[in-house]
A and B are shown apart, each in its own frame.
Chain A
Amino acid sequence: MIKTSEILATIKMIQQENLDIRTITMGISLLDCSSESVEETSRRIYEKVTSKAERLVETGEAISKEFGIPIINKRISVTPVSMLSPANKKEDFVEYAKALEKAALKTGVNFIGGYSALVQKGFTEKDKIFLESIPYALKETTRVCSSVNVGSTKAGINMDAVYEVGKLIKKTAELTKENGAIGCAKFVAFCNAVEDNPFMAGAFHGVSEPECVINVGVSGPGVVKHELEKHKDGDFMEIAEAIKKTAFKITRMGQLVANEASSRLGVPFGIVDLSLAPTPEVGDSVAYILEEMGLEKCGTHGTTAALALLNDAVKKGGVMASSSVGGLSGAFIPVSEDAGMINAAKCGALSLDKLEAMTCVCSVGLDMIAIPGNTSAETISAIIADEAAIGMINQKTTAVRLIPAPGTKEGDFVEFGGLLGYAPVMKVNENKSDIFVKRGGRIPAPIHSLKN
């Protein structure tokens, strides 16, 4: 029998501590959509996505109502679009993006991810055309998310791709400058991208994935923070235990929702991504968890250690609660989507350099960071290269989502609205990295890639 206190504790988590299921993401393979003509491929994309995901949103809403747990987003990820044929020019790929946009509108999902390419080792001719198309696709659509994997522990870092990505971020910012360079908020550069990530903007449906799959991303930074408030004088072992127990509970909820969605939609369950994903809402911040551990401001000395403890404890607690954990799993540190990060960046406690250090121990990378509009493509590429190197050497996923909003300078604010939040423009190092970035070629895979 469930105790009254347990029932009330769960209700408190949902009502007061912002516990929610952040996303149910349906992964759909588009590998069978290629055809003889761009029109036919576009039609097949639309038909397949809308038929597979026809009941996704209503099912998510029904589960949410019955279990009393908010399910914030219903989303779709698809096979990397760079693999679709035919495509001889960038306009062809943009047509596919438009088909995805149309399918997103029809199914009612708020984002559709997978306008992606995997170029960690090198480009195909089509990949090159695809990368050129990204800024235009992001301009022409509102719900399509894009990503490029530029490196991996196995392949090294494709520095030609890194430079191209730097340039395409600048181009995207320019093309969407009227809306605070919103296009850049829908684009991620990855190292060691995962194929079953349910979170945007980096979700895509990997080629080794099944035809259709349900992945669920849980959240709940607010619950973890409230739990830590009960351990003001506890040592690290004690707070790690408290985080583990909370992560277990949160993940069990995710697993329940995932099973339910999978059985109602008749689609196999893939993974639960047990990430602490913040939102700009008060009480839903990862930064405030770190501050609760005893840091005056997120970003001060000790922040990396606090985040390492948090990230590890979340995984340990969650892993037993789910039959299959995957995706990015850990703690996200997006600046614009986290009230505590925004405050810390605003008052100067949190710098880009400290964020880079934090990405060594968090689940992903430099996320939703506004940088001055005059930052060069070469500098952006160098930031991506640094981040990819951290991922490559540490055998983890790292990502970069930067917003060089045109006309902004350090200290300004860029507003994106909704879950994407708003971001203070952060300082970048003004010394040039141009010659380094333009060398081209590939940074070789590290020695520990040779495991066989």
Chain B
Amino acid sequence: MKAVLTVIGNDSVGIIAGISSVLANDNVNIIDINQTIMSGMFTMVMIIEMNESESDFSTINDKLVKKGKELGVQVIVTREEIYKSMHRI
């Protein structure tokens, strides 16, 4: 299953490392990554693939949200269909 992970918050050291390590530990593959600073906010969008992971969506989601809290950023993980259905005919 593909999902979209977005991270929004104040820039600081170790955000990408922190999030990536959670993904790596759960065997989640990063397919694409896009990071930018928008209006002074750190904004990162990752496309991830969970097929090889032994954990389910909900567990991975909870771990990432928890990590986000530790890093002081907001982490949102959703299945990619939501964006496709909204923005593509």
Residues of A near any B CB (own CB < 8 A): 1-4, 6-8, 10-11, 15, 62, 65-69, 249, 252-253, 255-256
Contacts and interface: CB of A to CB of B under 8 A. Distances in A.
A69 to B, nearest CB: 7
A67 B45 contact: no
Given A65-B61, A66-B79, A68-B77, A8 B6 contact: yes
21 contacts: A2-B80, A2-B83, A2-B87, A4-B34, A4-B36, A4-B45, A6-B87, A8-B38, A10-B83, A10-B86, A10-B87, A66-B57, A67-B82, A68-B76, A68-B82, A249-B87, A252-B85, A252-B86, A253-B86, A256-B81, A256-B82
Interface residues of B, number: 25
A253 B81 CA distance: 9
A2 B6 CA distance: 13
A388 B32 CA distance: 56
Contacts of A7: 4, 6, 45, 83
Nearest to B84: A2
Q: Interface majority SS on A: helix, strand, loop or mixed? A: helix
B87 A67 contact: no
A314 B34 CA distance: 34
Nearest to A13: B86
B81 A68 contact: no
A43 B6 CA distance: 49
Contacts of B45: 4, 7-8
Among B58, B61, B79, which residue has the most Cβ atoms of chain A within 10 A? B79
Given A4-B43, A65-B61, A66-B79, 13 more contacts: A2-B87, A6-B83, A7-B6, A7-B45, A8-B6, A10-B87, A11-B6, A15-B76, A62-B58, A66-B78, A68-B78, A252-B86, A256-B85
Contacts of A249: 86-87
A111 B34 CA distance: 43
Contacts of A66: 57-58, 61, 78-79
A69 B34 CA distance: 22
Contacts of A252: 85-86
Nearest to A255: B85
Contacts of A256: 81-82, 85
B68 to A, nearest CB: 13
Among B36, B76, B84, B86, which residue has the most Cβ atoms of chain A within 10 A? B86
A249 B57 CA distance: 25
A252 B89 CA distance: 9
B85 to A, nearest CB: 4
A15 B78 CA distance: 13
Contacts of B34: 4
Contact of A253 (B76, B85, B88): B85
Contacts of B61: 65-66
